[in-house]
Amino acid sequence: MRILTVIPITNSSWIDELTYFSLSDVPLGSVVEITLRNKKVQALVIHSASAADMKAILRGGDFALRRIESTTPREMLSTGFIEAAVSTAEYHASTTGSVLYSLIPKAILTEYTGSIVVRNIMKEKSIHDVYALQAPTADRLTMYKNTIRESLAQRRSVLLVASNIADATKLYSELSNGIEDMVFLLTSKTTKKKLLETVETMANSKKPVLLISTPKYSMLLRQDIGTIIVEDESSTTYTTRKRPYINTVIFITKYAKNIGAKLILAGTVLSTYVHLEMRTGNISELAPLSTRHRSKVKVTVLDMRKKKEKITGKPLQNKKFLTISEDVEKIISKNINNNIGTLILAPRNGLAPITVCRDCKSTVTCKSCDTPVTLHKKSDNEREFLCSKCGESQESNTTCIYCNSWRLDTLGVGIELVEDHLHKLYKKSKIKRVDKKTTKTDKQIKDTVSKFNKEGGILLATQTVLPFIDEVDTAVVVSLDAMLSVPDFKIDERVFALLLKVKNITKNRLVVQTRMPDRSVLTLAANGEISDFMREELSLRKTLKYPPYTVMIKITSVGSKRQIIEDFQRIMPRLEEYGPRIFKQFHRINLSKFALHALLRIDTKKYPSSKLTELLKDIQPKFEVKIDIE
């Protein structure tokens, strides 16, 4: 009989190691099925010992060991993959099992029966290097083709990870020509049957392969991985939205190092983290970095506060709030007459992205999850508040939960408000809309974009449309003010990247409407000055001790005020040496439920530390812990 120590692969952030017994031995690194709280779950075997050797310990135990019924070994995880999951869990103060659960599709965990050689043979043959590739999309594709063909010629497989399904699909289309039998695509759109067949085919192929996938499906069961590419490295979608809140780029970076693979971090604009690592010599240039986005696109930043427009200098006819300036209206009308398409980008959904109380200045938030709600149209004469996080809806004729005031003001410009304005000016047939409310699938988005490309007119859309557009003659960003007002130290970086993405798909003219024209990020983005922007941003972050110079950790307690105070009083002595800062104000979730946050700011060179990691793991699940918060 064998005593097995296993890590349950579940979404629990507090269950780490458990002990079971088995009548037969199981190789370390195998995945087996265990019973946990009357449920069948998968578990990773990390230690095995003879029951005879542990007889004294077993006799003194005050619990009965449960038996593992099925011990058919499935050696499907390489040591490099497991080690990367362990160190990723340590960084994010979570369990290895929850990290594995977020990285491996359920169908593979429960139904894949194949095996691979646990040792990765490339580690002895390769020198792990990390490279940066910052270039326009067309140039990156050329570099990808060269790198992939070189690696396949050396009989080394390649893993290319994209941040979303649309980008992964587009990359597959661009890179598979001529090598179709060696290229595979895996995303959440892949059916379970196709997923298992593809994984089996890749694992058993005698040829090297190229796998293009989204992060969740990037488990390439090969022992010959020579290169890993991360496309659009700075994208926020690489961070999971549910526990254990991990940044999958961190996992991929650790995985590449463990297996000795070349890692390429790529994008139109790379993150501040990559730029800092390049300054310190930890990351090299794969090709000379594009420090300025060179383009013939004419970019105009319109100051919507003034009575005159920068384009023509003519005064506005009235002082009312405008969603579309009169000069932009003329541009659109001219394009329609000439059968030229115009992209109108509204970065926010709904009628207005934020609603605040005029009396106490509080933001209207979701009653279920405490997320700021967006005002949407329910029908022609009715409106409602919708939560973008949990989908909860509530009536718009509500009062402030803090001061009971009826004086609620909407802030910012949403896509529905823009659509109402456009309908007054142009025929409805000329306006096509893309957002998560009207186009819920990728196919619907593709069909709408295809129709726009053929017929011209106006394509009114949120950012979800960008991966589906190859080129548009004219683009107008209605307003970035709601984004620029978000209390997030990364917001300028995101706005800069967004504007360069829009500029990248625009052929002739880009117009940006704003009431914050003096923000340097807008000028630098309009001119494509990537190097200058990064220099300013890193200088500011260093002065303020923001990431990437520090790691910011948010600790949140939810409950009654009394319970929250007791909880924080209990853990504060243990956190004292890390200089915790507790927010002064409680955040009301509903009439009886509140939230309070504490912030730790740790020097990047001193994190992670085993002492702090264990402390943060110990206070969960009573507290919610997020590493590298925004």
150 vs 53, higher pLDDT? 150
- Among 81, 111, 141, residue at a domain's last position: 111
Name the amino acid, one letter, at 473: D
- Among 461, 495, 528, residue at a domain's last position: 528
Q: How many domains in the chain?
A: 4
What would the mean pLDDT of 97-108 be, rounded to a whole number? 93
What is the dihedral sign for C-alpha 120, 107, 229, 83?
negative
Q: What is the pTM assigned to this prediction?
A: 0.87
- Check residue 79 and give its pLDDT: 86
- Do 273 and 134 share a structural domain? yes
- Do 486 and 574 share a structural domain? no
379, part of any domain:
no
Distance (Å, whole) CA 451 – CA 430: 11
535, part of any domain:
no
Exposure of 343 by Cβ count < 10 A (0-12 exposed, 13-18 middle, 19+ buried)?
buried
Write the pLDDT tens digit of every residue in 166-203. Answer: 999 999 999 999 999 999 999 999 999 999 999 999 98
39, part of any domain:
yes
- Do 323 and 271 share a structural domain? no
- Among 111, 139, 159, residue at a domain's last position: 111
47, part of any domain:
yes
- Do 273 and 196 share a structural domain? yes
363 vs 615, higher pLDDT? 615
Write the pLDDT tens digit of every residue in 119-128. Answer: 554 555 555 7
Write the pLDDT tens digit of every residue in 407-442. Answer: 776 666 778 888 888 988 888 778 999 998 889 899
- Do 564 and 487 share a structural domain? no
Write the pLDDT tens digit of every residue in 479-496. Answer: 888 788 777 889 999 999
377, part of any domain:
no
- Do 73 and 26 share a structural domain? yes
Tell me the CA end-to-end span of the chain in Å, nearest whole number.
50
Distance (Å, whole) CA 492 – CA 520: 9
- Do 106 and 126 share a structural domain? no
Distance (Å, whole) CA 549 – CA 546: 6
Mean pLDDT score of the chain = 86
Identify the CATH number of the domain in which residue 64 sits: 3.40.1440
Write the pLDDT tens digit of every residue in 134-148. Answer: 999 999 999 999 999
- Check residue 55 and give its pLDDT: 57
CB 140 within 8 A of CB 290: no
Phi, psi for residue 255 in degrees, rounded to 5: -65, -45
- Check residue 353 and give its pLDDT: 66
What would the mean pLDDT of 333-339 be, rounded to a whole number? 92
- Do 575 and 521 share a structural domain? no
Identify the CATH number of the domain in which residue 484 sits: 3.40.50.300
- Do 504 and 476 share a structural domain? yes
User: Which structural domain, as residue segments, surrounds residue 42?
Assistant: 2-111
386, part of any domain:
no
- Do 426 and 347 share a structural domain? yes
- Check residue 410 and give its pLDDT: 62
- Do 435 and 309 share a structural domain? yes
- Do 333 and 265 share a structural domain? no
